[in-house]
Amino acid sequence: MDSLSRREMFDFHGISMIHYFTDNWENIQNFQARPDDILIATYPKAGTTWVSYILDLLHFGQTSPERQTSIPIYQRVPFLELTIPFLDSGGQTLHIGVDLANNLPTSPRLIKTHYPVQFVPKSFWEQNCRIVYVARNAKDNVVSYFHFDHMNMLEPDPGDWSSYLHRFKEGKMVFGPWYDHVNGWWKKKQTHSNLHYMFYEDMVEDTGREIDKLCRFLGLSPSAEEKKQIIGGVQFDNMRKNDMVNHSTAPVMDLKICPFLRKGKVGDWKNHFTVAQSEEFDEDYKKKMKDPTLQFRTEI
Ligand code: PPS
């Protein structure tokens, strides 16, 4: 394995990727999902960590509280396709998301992926696993991704904002076009009933309501007290202070450049897009987003 550094994207089965997410392709495709596995699927920067933390608290917050103070979220909820060497909590070197997922002692296992729907290992469908997909409006999503690409040393160099925005519209982003990702997963919902599709904006608007929906989907019934604790714990400011979820321990991120939990807002795109950029983006968006049943909010 080469040393960790920014890499160029290349076309991989029609999707722009970097090798950190494709090197272990065969093993990933052969991953053996279990029927009670829960897959958290997102386009990057859509709220993966937020929902991962909520699911972890809902499942294990009461039974293993020590987990909350000792294991970073990216080890509790392994990133299936990530293929880099990294140390687990016992000091052992693990190389890949698949290894971490296979070694998870929990039941259910919570597993994260950014893959577009067509890349997901087939066992997740065969086992009829529950899947939580989180989507975020394109404008805030691209802004968040832009800042992330500055601070994450594995990502391709983001360049300036205007060229980055152009690249986003072209779909030349790691994990491919946002447009195809959110639509592909939306369509999958029609045939895979165990898919809960949720929106970042709804979470910001009313976290408690969205947790209730998640609980119904997962068949969980936390007590009112437990729910209150979870809603408090997963608030942006509290997550930011929490070293187990703020990625301060993640080796490839430089939080001095930009915090992982950066703003946590709906509408921050207004601080980045010029009026002309916004208008051009909207024009292009209309051409690509033809399904009237999939609607995003860029403000709440
Ligand atoms: S990653 O790297 O793809 O896993 O990133 P991901 O976790 O999907 O997305 C990071 C963005 O989610 C925001 N976030 C939150 N917003 C509001 N409330 C809470 N609790 C919360 N937790 C995470 C995080 O701040 C990133 O968005 P931006 O806009 O960059 O702040």
pLDDT number for residue 38: 98
> Is residue 297 assigned to a domain?
no
Give the tens place of pLDDT for each residue, 219-241. Answer: 999 999 999 999 999 999 999 99
Which tokens in the block code for residue 75? 């080890």
Please give all residues whose beta carbon lies within 6 A of any atom in ligand 1, as ranges. Answer: 42, 44-50, 140, 144, 147-148, 204, 234-236, 239, 261-264, 268
Phi, psi of 245 (to 5 degrees): -130, -10
pLDDT number for residue 249: 84
| Domain count of the fold of the chain | 1
The one catalytic residue in 114, 147, 181, 196 is 114
pLDDT number for residue 250: 82
> Is residue 5 assigned to a domain?
no
Q: In whole numbers, what is the pLDDT of the chain averaged over residues?
A: 94
Give the tens place of pLDDT for each residue, 153-197. Answer: 889 999 999 999 999 999 999 999 999 999 999 999 999 999 999
State the residue range of the domain holding 90.
10-288
pLDDT number for residue 93: 60
Q: Do 31 and 101 form a contact (C-beta atoms < 8 A)? A: yes
Which tokens in the block code for residue 161? 């904002």
Angle of the 207-218 helix axis to the 224-233 helix axis, nearest 10: 120
Q: Facing residues of 40 across strands? A: 112, 132
Whichever domain contains 155, its CATH number is: 3.40.50.300
> Is residue 2 assigned to a domain?
no
Q: Facing residues of 113 across strands? A: 41
The most confident of 90-94, 148-152, 253-257, by mean pLDDT: 148-152
The rounded distance, in Å, linking the Cα atoms of 49 and 45 is: 9
Rounded mean pLDDT, 254-280: 96
Rounded mean pLDDT, 23-33: 95
- Choice from 253, 261, 269, 271 to test ligand 1 binding pocket (greatest atom count within 8 A of CB): 261
> Is residue 296 assigned to a domain?
no
- Choice from 21, 54, 144 to test ligand 1 binding pocket (greatest atom count within 8 A of CB): 144
Residue 99: how many CB atoms within 10 A of its CB? 17
